[in-house]
Structures are given as C-alpha cells and as structure tokens.
Amino acid sequence: MNLEELNKIAIKMAAPGKGILAADESTGTIQKRFDAIGVANTEDNRRDYREMLFRAGKTMREHISGVILFDETIRQKAKDGTSLVALIEAAGSIPGIKVDAGAKPLAGAPNETITEGLDGLRERFVAYHALGARFAKWRGVYEIAQGNPSHNAIHANAHALARYAALAQENGIVPIVEPELLMDGDHGIEACETVTEWILKEVFQELFYAGVKLEGMILKPNMIVPGKKCAKQNSVDEVAERTVRVLKRCVPGAVPGIAFLSGGQSDVEATAHLSAMNALGKLPWPLTFSYGRALQAAPQKAWSGKTENVAAGQAAFAHRARMNSLAALGKWTPAEEKKAS
C-alpha cells in the first residue's frame, strides 16, 4: 500500500467545489429509472445514457471529481470505440467501481441485512485496478423499524465495511466507506441522530481494528434527517447542525473528505442541506456530494432515450452539478437555483 498515493487520490475526490457522480446503478436498479422515462433497459441504452453524462466535458471538468461505475460500465466502450473509463479520465475525473454484491438477509436478525461480496474481492480489486479504477464503494444498509437496527446488524456491517476497505487499500484503491441509515419510516430526527452516531462509532472502531489508514479513505454517510413518513420535517438549518454535530463526534480529522449520499431526498433538498453544512464553517474535513438520483433524475427525464435530447440531458446535468458545486462551497441559495434554472 502506498498511503501517500491513496491520500492524493482521496484529496482529489474531495476537491473544493467538486463531488462524485454515483453512476453505479445495477441493471435492476436502472430498470426502475428507465421504466419511469419509458426507455428499454438494454445494454446499448445504458451505455448511451452514461456516455451522455461522461461527454458533458465542461460539467465533468468543473464539478465532478470522480465517477462510481458498475461492473458492466467499467468495461463498456462508447459508440466510437473509446472506453467509458477513458472518457472519464479525459475530463479529469477519477474512475471508481462499486464492489459490493448487495444487501442480503442477515441470519438471526429478522428484517435486517448484511452486505455481501467479500469472497474473491482481493482478486477483483486487482482486475478493477487494471481496468482503471482508483477508488471503490461498498454500502452497508440499516433501517429504523421495530426495534432495529440491532447491535448484530450494526457490528456485522461495520466489520464488512472495514474488511472491504483494508482490501481496497492493499490494492492501491481508495475505499469509499458508505454506512447508510435509510430515510424510510416515520421516526423523528432525534432517532436518526442517535442511531447514526452509534453506526459511525462502530464503523470507525472496526476500521481501526482492520488497519485501515484513515488518510486514504472517503466517508459516505447519510445526513441526519427525519423519516419520510414522519409528521415533522425539520428545517434545513436543523438538519445541517445535527449532521455536523454527529460527524464531529465520530469522524477523525485525518479523513480527507466526507461525500454525502442523497438517500431519497429531492434534488433541491440534498443541495440545500449540503450548502447549509458548509456555511457553518470551521469544519475538520471537506463536505461534498456523492449523489446518484439527486444528480441524475433531471438529466434522465430530459434525455428520455432520444438522441435528439442529448444536449437537453447534458444541460440538466450541468445545472444540478453546478448547484451542488455551489453547495460544496457553502454558496448555494434558493435564488441561485431559481436564476440558474
């Protein structure tokens, strides 16, 4: 492991005003997205859609530090024969890869999950590095419901995240460590804060035991928000204050950057919350974005699978990327959103 090189990559991933595009949807997940816009879920359509994003040169150069890819995508070539990885690199972004095999039922823990995919991961990292990946992502999933999450689920997923992260670093790949407490449910913001703090403390304990070097990783957590079905939806400022408070309690300053998931928030909500956090100032680490749907919903709809709509899709992508770039600097405002759109 070359920690100096890992640290350089991680710092670049969290560069000021830039964030990570999560384009790592599985074939099943993108099926739902394409169904919503009336596009057939074929390999060619998946390639054409992602090529549209990666060829948005100005947007990629100015606002996107890295792109998380799916196994199919990291091997795909554009219509002209250029690899999609080469398109990302040409824009000055870093190619990354999702390596987990998804959340599966956790034995002995009803209604809870464990993320699988550790078997053979060392060998897969060697292959992904050869394909151009310089960072990776692994997601652990937790839910507040019926007394859950249990310590069993929190510990099992933290242990898996740490084993994955150690293997990534061993192979010259920066791990994005993603423990996600879902927004599903009717729990209040206080429950989200308490459970997220528990999860993060367990994760960093396991990272320490596994020998993971904090200077060579990126954290991708959820924000502290109430459940979608909660009667009280808290203000942007309260979400920002609670989220930063939990992070300061749990995340060492050695971590080069924190890139939030949007987790089901609307495009504008995710942007507003991120900007409010950065506006607080005096933070130990850069706070940026690693959004999937919150960056892609608008361009997907504008594109709708039609060649003649590529420019419109890229324009929609440019808008959301710029808004989140401003948020990563603490400079986004509703007026800026309205003016730009």
* pLDDT per residue as tens digits for the range 82-115: 999 999 999 999 999 999 999 999 999 999 999 9
Q: Considering 178, 202, 269, 337, which one is annotated as catalytic?
A: 178
Residue 8 annotated to the active site? no
Q: Considering 51, 220, 269, 337, which one is annotated as catalytic?
A: 220
Residue 58 annotated to the active site? no
Residue 165 scores a pLDDT above 70:
yes
Distance CA 111, CA 152 (A): 12
* pLDDT level of residue 341 (50, 70, 90 thresholds): low
Question: How many structural domains compose the chain?
Answer: 1
CA 246, 248, 249, 254 dihedral sign is positive
Give the other-Cβ count within 10 Å of 42's Cβ. 11
Residue 227 scores a pLDDT above 60:
yes
Mean pLDDT of 279-295: 95
Boundaries of domain holding 131: 3-340
Residue 339 has a pLDDT of 77
Residue 146 has a pLDDT of 87
User: 4 by DSSP, 3-state: which?
Assistant: helix
Return the half-sphere exposure (C-beta side, CA atoms, 13 A cut-off) of residue 308. Answer: 0
pLDDT tens across 23-37, in order?
A: 999 999 999 999 999
Residue 273 has a pLDDT of 98
How wide is the angle at C-alpha 14 spanned by C-alphas 10 and 18, nearest 5°? 140
pLDDT tens across 184-220, in order?
A: 999 999 999 999 999 999 999 999 999 999 999 999 9
Q: Which two tokens stand for residue 238?
A: 């309260």
* pLDDT level of residue 1 (50, 70, 90 thresholds): confident
Looking up residue 115, the CATH number of its domain turns out to be 3.20.20.70
Residue 79 has a pLDDT of 93
